[in-house]
Chain A
Amino acid sequence: MILAPELRAQIEEIAGRYPDRRSALLPALHLAQRSLGGCVQADGVAEVASILGLPLAAAFGVQSYYTMFNRQPIGRYHLQLDVNVPAMLAGADALLAHLEQVLGIRAGQTTPDGLFTLSTVQDLGSCGTCPVLQVNDRYYENLTPARADELLTHLRRGQMPDWQPEAAWGSSCNILLRRRGNPKARELAEYRKTGGYQALEKALGMTPEALVAEVKAAALRGRGGAGFPAGMKWGFLPKEGNRPVYMICNADEGEPGTFKDRQIMEFDPHLLLEGLTIAGLAVGSRLGFIYIRGEFAWIAEILERAAEQARQAKLLGNDILGRGKEFEVLVHLGAGAYVCGEETALIESLEGKRGCPRVKPPFPASAGLYGCPTIVNNVETLACVPTIVQHGAEAFKKLGTPNNHGPKIFGISGHVKRPGTYEHPLGTSLDALLAEAGGVQGKLKAIIVGGLSVPILTAAEAAGLKMDYDSCLKAGTMLGSGGVIVMNETTSIPAVALRAMEFYAHESCGQCAPCSRGSHTVLALLRRLVAGRGSQADIEAVLHLCKRIKGSTLCPTGDAFSVPIEAMVRKFRPEFEALVR
């Protein structure tokens, strides 16, 4: 046996927490990897599979799906540099070249002394503080080559320094980022002192129907990207039946340009817990999950700690505040897969499977986790719930524009002077946001306003844009997650398109032909174009593919790359043509 008895016992214990033992597969692989020095090889996978009663192929299929699981030995320090679009705009390529030079290895290699393995990764959710390097479990943000040298010196001495990032933020709403500047807000006492859990107390006195009605009345639109009204979604749950209902918080936050949810989870974890608990009461769920991306392991610890405090204070558990209501929360770590942010892929992943989206219908509300009725909501959506319950739908609707109510965290990255997260009412003007972020560095060329998967806007198209769902749609793009990526005149759009495509081809779950084969093909064509070996026909082929892939895939990921890539080629075609001549 390669896994220590204590570890096996721990895996058993974790398996017992879930309604289905298989859900413990990702946690078990994480634990095994940590205890086996950074990688789990064949014997380890076989043992994990046998503990959980799974076929070996299923366990290996899962292990090899998620990028955070290493199957080969790696260096003592695994240096993972985010090279995706926002990082690229912040100079990650130069940092990569620097690291390769000082370490004397290429990305994907390990130094001969076994100390460092250097990897490039796609998006770490630190778009406002990149370049960012993940060293084992820890993030090092705002890096420059000089700062990276300093870090290496520490690591060579066997120290992992505790550096806090310098992240800009601001808020005119004081709801979601209200406690962002208060380092004590993670503590329950402080959270309560500043008004926390009053909404939950109020909710305990309301019927589930009244809670759903209030959220419906507030017209709270989902902040995960699609803007679907949360109250309406909750109303889709079957009215009767004896199957359990599960409430899932989507904290996967994996799209380049998006780094808003972590601001809530890291700095105001109780706000999310309170929102999730109220949502659980509203939909009649007794078990909730926070599915958080695996790279955010330290944030998961913050959440777990907060949940434990809440449990102690009877804010969670089987008799909340002595009022006879029950709700429990499990924090579940992903393992490196963007598509697991898609709600049905998330559910599969939570069931201990490969993160492949399911065919809809059935929708999760009728058959989700373990086949039971399930609601999936984004972190920011749930964090809006306490204020709605406490102050009422009418107060909430005072913020924003018609049909687009409430606060929104906009994450601004790329070529601005103060990249960061800024909370303002929906409908705030893009110009004002850019101004708050210190203004564009140089001259604005193009902007992506809703995370990498929405169509790019030229500077002219972006002028005067109001940042809400409907206005963005009218402008030919989408508000998405509200991740704003700013590009000045030095930016090469073909280079951005290529980097974006590298992300999607890497992240495609591989399940359906138009996305897995299509992303691979578009990537190959863009690579050829950017390398100066392409032809006019390749440009046409990219456009042809994007047009056809749109709407033809099993889940929206096909659209997530075909729509933005098509927009980049169409709107900046001369730049692509220049590569051909």
Chain B
Amino acid sequence: MKLTIDRTTVEAQPGQTILQVARAHGIYIPTLCYHEKTGAASKCRVCAVVVEGMRGLQLACSVPAKDGMVIHTDTAEARDTQRLVVNLLLSTGTHDCLACEKNGVCELQDAAYHLGIMKPAFVIDSGRGEERPDDSSAFIVRDHARCIACGRCVVSCSKNVINRVLDFGYRGSETRVICDDDRPMGDSSCVQCGECVQLCPVGALVEKKAIGKARTWELSKVRTTCPYCGVGCQLDLHVKGEQIVKVTGVEEGLPNRGYLCVKGRFGYDFPYAEDRLKTPLIKENGAFRPASWDEALDLVASKFKDIIAQSGPDAVAGVSCARSINEDSYQMQKLFRAVFRTNNIDHCART
């Protein structure tokens, strides 16, 4: 089916919303509370558009596309509402982009830029006082003053990763996202999976270890597979030069669709660890000494041979690493079954 958005005719698939059609064709409609994974919440109201033949403004995130629909995202009426929302959010929060980790990849900033808003339209006391960000947890910093209450983190924590740590507390302009019974995140039942950070459209939830490490435009993304376990989650390393600054899950990647666990998302320090092994070590007289790969492998092979000669093949067993690829695991079991002639072969991700 076909519809018209801002005088351009575009193709749409059944089941798509106006927003999805627009995005598929690179047409920008400001959004804040919408995320594919959390769905249309209809809360921020910033994606207000005019649909010919429908009364009042419509929300692009919620209205299904229909053949022949004529949509305007840029009439005075639609723009007024889009600007109202952005202006109100800017006026009632602390949006000091200069000091914000999300500068450059912030959906609120994008909307303001797109709508030509240079500074908040209303100068009032935000009523939020001087509350300090919550940096009590190991890997996440929460800043209520930057929060726009879009609810993406709440939905993702309670319905997607089902950790049920986050919810909304209080009400009116005092509404805010709480952990458990509004305790610091570090004292809460949060498992630091970081999904909430990944979905935050603004700088209210950021990765603690990345703070101050790089401007967003200095980062390049390197897609890779998580090295920790056999699930093989897809992730992006955000690197500045040779340095990993942070890790995010690949939203469109299988098997994890952006979800990661605490290790995959935050456990990326080991490449830089001073005490990591760089050569094989051989223990002699109670102490390790560095050795070459050939020497080490020869030693292992000769010891296996000795043991099998003395006590038979069932005296040895193999445990393959969960992080190895299928081909390596296959060869490992082949080595034990066909060469060593034992069935003592297992895998560390069995539990």
Contacts and interface: CB of A to CB of B under 8 A. Distances in A.
A234 B133 CA distance: 51
A60 B44 contact: no
Given A510-B171, A513-B44, A519-B172, A541 B189 contact: no
A517 B174 contact: no
A42 B179 CA distance: 13
B320 interface: no
A509 B81 CA distance: 20
Contact of A513 (B89, B169, B172, B189): B89
Interface in B89-126: 89, 91-92, 121-122, 124-125
Interface stretch (A9-17, A417-425, A551-559): A551-559
B88 A514 contact: yes
B180 to A, nearest CB: 4
Contact of B62 (A359, A509, A521, A525): A359
Interface string B170-191: 1111110011111000000100
B237 interface: no
B241 interface: no
B148 A513 contact: yes
A61 B168 CA distance: 6
A42 B169 CA distance: 14
Contacts of A61: 167-169, 178
A488 to B, nearest CB: 31
Contact of A525 (B122, B168, B181): B122
B158 A521 contact: no
A510 B168 contact: yes
B89 A57 contact: no
A354 interface: yes
A31 to B, nearest CB: 19
Interface in A418-439: none
A105 to B, nearest CB: 23
A506 B170 CA distance: 11
A354 B168 contact: yes
Contact of A57 (B42, B57, B92, B180): B180
A46 B124 contact: no
A518 B167 contact: no
B49 interface: no
Contacts of B189: 56
Contacts of B43: 511-513, 554
B81 A554 contact: no
Contact of B127 (A508, A509, A510, A520): A520
A509 B57 contact: no
A521 B122 contact: yes
Interface in A494-537: 505-514, 516-521, 524-525, 528
B148 A510 contact: no
A168 to B, nearest CB: 34
A571 interface: no
A505 B88 contact: no
A528 B125 CA distance: 10
Contact of A516 (B166, B172, B180, B181): B172
A354 B42 CA distance: 17
Contacts of A514: 45, 81, 84-85, 88
Nearest to A520: B173
A510 B173 CA distance: 6
Nearest to A65: B171
Contact of B167 (A55, A509, A549): A55
B124 A524 contact: yes
Interface in A323-359: 337, 354, 359
Given A512-B44, A513-B85, A57 B173 contact: no
Given A42-B181, A56-B181, A508 B89 contact: no
B172 A57 contact: no
B170 A513 contact: no
Interface residues of A, number: 42
Contacts of A520: 92, 124, 127, 172-173
Nearest to A553: B45
Contact of A521 (B56, B88, B180): B88
Given A55-B164, A521-B124, A525-B124, A509 B45 contact: no
A508 B43 CA distance: 13
Contacts of A524: 122, 124-125, 127
Contacts of A60: 167, 169, 178, 180-182
Contacts of A508: 171-173
Q: Which of A513, A528, A552 has the most CB of B within 10 A?
A: A513
Contacts of A58: 158, 164, 167
Contacts of B57: 551-552
A369 to B, nearest CB: 20
B171 A554 contact: no
Contact of A65 (B127, B165, B170): B170
Interface in A391-432: none
Contacts of B181: 42, 45-46, 56-57, 59-60
A153 interface: no
Contact of B172 (A46, A506, A548): A506
Interface in A63-86: 64-65
A549 B189 CA distance: 38
B149 interface: yes
A552 B221 CA distance: 39
A46 B80 CA distance: 44
Q: Which of B89, B158, B165, B169 has the most CB of A within 10 A?
A: B169
Interface string B24-49: 00000000100000000011111010
A518 B169 CA distance: 19
B47 to A, nearest CB: 12
Nearest to B40: A359
Contacts of B62: 359
A549 B88 CA distance: 11
Contacts of A541: 121-122
Contact of B149 (A59, A510, A518, A548): A510
A517 B164 contact: no
A393 to B, nearest CB: 31
Nearest to B122: A521
B180 A518 contact: no
B171 A509 contact: yes
Interface string A39-53: 000100110000000
Nearest to B82: A552
Nearest to A337: B171
Contacts of A505: 172-173
Q: Which of B92, B124, B158, B173 has the most CB of A within 10 A?
A: B173
Given A46-B181, A510-B175, A520-B173, A552 B164 contact: no
Contacts of A45: 181
Given A516-B173, A548-B80, A57 B124 contact: no
Q: Which of A46, A508, A548, A553 has the most CB of B within 10 A?
A: A548
B56 A516 contact: no
B279 to A, nearest CB: 49
A22 to B, nearest CB: 13
Interface of B: 32, 42-46, 48, 56-57, 62, 80-81, 84-85, 88-89, 91-92, 121-122, 124-125, 127, 148-149, 158, 164-175, 178-182, 189
Nearest 5 pairs between A and B by C-beta? Answer: A510-B175, A520-B173, A57-B167, A55-B164, A524-B124
Given A359-B62, A513-B148, 18 more contacts: A42-B181, A46-B181, A55-B167, A56-B189, A57-B165, A60-B180, A506-B172, A508-B171, A509-B172, A510-B175, A511-B175, A512-B42, A513-B32, A517-B173, A521-B122, A524-B124, A552-B48, A552-B57
8 contacts: A513-B46, A513-B85, A514-B45, A514-B84, A520-B127, A521-B88, A541-B122, A553-B45
